[in-house]
Amino acid sequence: MASNAVRKVGVKLIRLSRAVSRFRPSIPIEAVRRAAQSNVLKMPLVRNEPRPVSAPGVIAAKPLERAVEQATRALLAQQRADGHFVFELEADATIPSEYLLLVHWLGETPDTRLEAKIGNYLRRIQGDHGGWPLFEGGSFNISASVKAYFALKMIGDDIGAPHMVRAREAILAQGGAANSNVFTRSMLALYGAIPWSGVPVMPVEIMLLPRWFPFHITKISYWARTVLVPLTVLNALRPTARNPRGVLIPELFTTPPELVRRWPKGEHHRFPWGQIFDAIDRVLRFVEPHFPPAARRRAIKLAVDFTTERLNGVDGLGAIYPAMANSVMMFDALGYRADHPDRATARTSVERLLVVKDDEAYCQPCVSPVWDTALAAHALIEVGEVPGLATAPAVARALHWLKPRQVLDTVGDWAMTRPSVRPGGWAFQYNNPHYPDVDDTAVVVMAMDRAVRERGHDEDLPDCRQAIARGHEWVLGMQSRNGGFGAFDADNDYEYLNHIPFSDHGALLDPPTADVTARCVSMMAQLGPRRRSRDALERGLAFLKRTQEPDGSWYGRWGMNYIYGTWSSLCALNAAGVEADAPEVRRAVDWLVAIQNPDFGWGESGDSYKLRYQGYEDAPSTASQTAWALLGLMAAGRVDHPAVERGIRFLQRTQGTDGFWQEPRYTATGFPRVFYLRYHGYSKFFPLWAMARYRNLKGAANDSMRVGM
């Protein structure tokens, strides 16, 4: 009863505030004051917008400061001895399931205690619908469910157990395992559970194709490249799992796999490309067995050379699980002994992704230390000096850790399209020199720049000038033709390739997106006018204005979803000097205010990536998404808007006694509609960042404040 009453009051307050906010004065909004010589991103305050009534009243400074201090103390306690931060990175059931199945595919002696813990994890995250979702609270996903069921059966779960019966019934109700995606069917083919005719043809001879050919590995994304290359070797050799326990899943098929004639396609496949590539697949299926053996041997050698060059030590091929696992299976299929250095290194890389706890365990898709460290540094820089808390030394240690991880010598795959650009980026993981990304690089550069600007006298800080210059240079060199930025490659926008049968996930490419472009625009604007950057900045701004959605939001490729993209874009517009009363800023503000939840927070789910998206749909509030909305509104000069005050109250109310926020929901994205992520660090540094920003702006003596993001 009490919760319903609170909800009703919240709804009425928000409706009242929106009604009042519609009555805007006809006089123009006061111009934002900016320092004459400054090129640093500032947070303008819109002074004469009408302020809707906010029942809770002014936020008291002392409780807010206590909340900031508590969160800061908790975050500092998470810093590693060498200065970096790294938090768990959780996906769905697919990666832990694939790990279990990899062990048995290789015929290794399993660690039964580890298997039991992963089994506990898989059973806990099973959905009420009987299957497994792609994110917490999500709908049934057949591919994740098939893998989880297979893995649980592999480690000994009785198929008559209630949870297995529920899972099997849910899978069969959706047409059975034959309706799984390409990656799941590839795994089933490697186990001999389905014929190879159930997998699209992807011959290893693609390694021999010239650059001008419509399909070439330079034309697909880094993650597709590293996953696909070893997989083509497996497709050519077609090894079968050792599978000592002899476990298979025939009970998950409504039709025997060998009798299936039509395998599913990607939901996004459209005329005419879908039909064209289907025809090509049929031709390849007929002619592939007749490819010259010498050409196949040469192609396999090129694929192996590609893999070993990028093996990346114990951090693994591409530093992502699917590529690592494929490389291990490729080496095994080629006859490499378990103690062969390349195979042993690749196998070790997989083990390093495990998170093992007292009663549960799971396998991460990758690790995120550079990203976590850079974002935590931004939050601590925002907090500033707090009596009794060593925030400045913590920032200095974080930057000391980040600086030597800049990739300055390795010419990575990005140079396939930008051969004249010097290296200078940062990767997402501990080590991944062939695959730095512009998003991480921009965030690191801004953290370094802000720390130097605000604490240049601090002798503990590293000398970051050269690192900043090289990072800036590399990011500029990665700008695409259309003015935007992709994450890992430039001009990776060959959209027709997303229609090949292998790409039923629709995530084969790395095209420019608003969120990554916004980060790069923010970096360029913060660093100020430099040679070549003025034109790049203008082109980036034009891309952002061009890609704003009709409702005022921006798409978020790497964070969920339009809240993330809108926060990123508002920061960029403000950094570049776009006025707070500009139409694109007002539309974005109106959208954020309109979607605030009755509990005063913000939330958005993975369903927002559906192909038939018709606009925002209600989702439970989360701390990180609330923080993004608040940071976006404050970047737009709305620190005094009641929506911001309400959002801060949400964060205060939901903060835990440990200083952090509980956030079981997923708020990040690997591949839209296919693979989502839960960054365990997001609820630790983003809410702190937003509260500290609010405190700083409300206490500022002038209308603006020097910030990074």
Active site residues: 439
How far is it, in rounded angstroms, from Cα 98 to Cα 105?
10
| β-strands 354-356, 89-90 pairing | unpaired
Q: Residue 63, SS3?
A: helix
Name the DSSP letter for residue 362. E
Residue 656: CB partners within 8 Å, gap ≥ 6?
662
How far is it, in rounded angstroms, from Cα 445 to Cα 472?
7
Let me know: does 151 contact 100? Beta carbons within 8 Å: yes
How far is it, in rounded angstroms, from Cα 600 to Cα 55?
12
- Phi first, then psi: give them for residue 618, nearest 5 degrees: -55, 140
Let me know: does 475 contact 445? Beta carbons within 8 Å: yes
In one-letter notation, the amino acid at residue 620 is P
In one-letter notation, the amino acid at residue 538 is E
Burial of residue 601, with CB atoms counted within 10 A of its CB: 0-12 exposed, 13-18 middle, 19 or more buried: buried
- Phi first, then psi: give them for residue 340, nearest 5 degrees: -65, 135
Q: Where are the beta strands (DSSP E) in 281-400?
A: 354-356, 361-363
How far is it, in rounded angstroms, from Cα 593 to Cα 235?
51
- Phi first, then psi: give them for residue 676, nearest 5 degrees: -120, 165
Looking at 341-405, list the stretches that DSSP marks H as alpha helix, in order from N- to C-terminal side: 341-351, 369-383, 391-402
How far is it, in rounded angstroms, from Cα 570 to Cα 566?
6
Looking at 252-320, list the stretches that DSSP marks H as alpha helix, in order from N- to C-terminal side: 273-287, 293-309
How far is it, in rounded angstroms, from Cα 642 to Cα 192?
60
Give the torsion sign (CA, 685, 570, 438, 396): negative
Please give the structure tokens belonging to residue 482: 């259309």
Name the DSSP letter for residue 462. -
> To which residue do tokens 């111009």 refer?
31
Q: How far is CA 101 from CA 91, 94, 187, in A?
A: 17, 10, 9
Terminal CA-to-CA distance of the chain, rounded, Å? Answer: 41
Question: Which of 121, 130, 129 has the alpha carbon at shortest distance from 94?
Answer: 121
Please give the structure tokens belonging to residue 70: 């508590």
Q: How far is CA 42 from CA 160, 195, 530, in A?
A: 62, 59, 19
Return the number of other C-beta atoms located less than 10 Å from residue 9's C-beta.
12
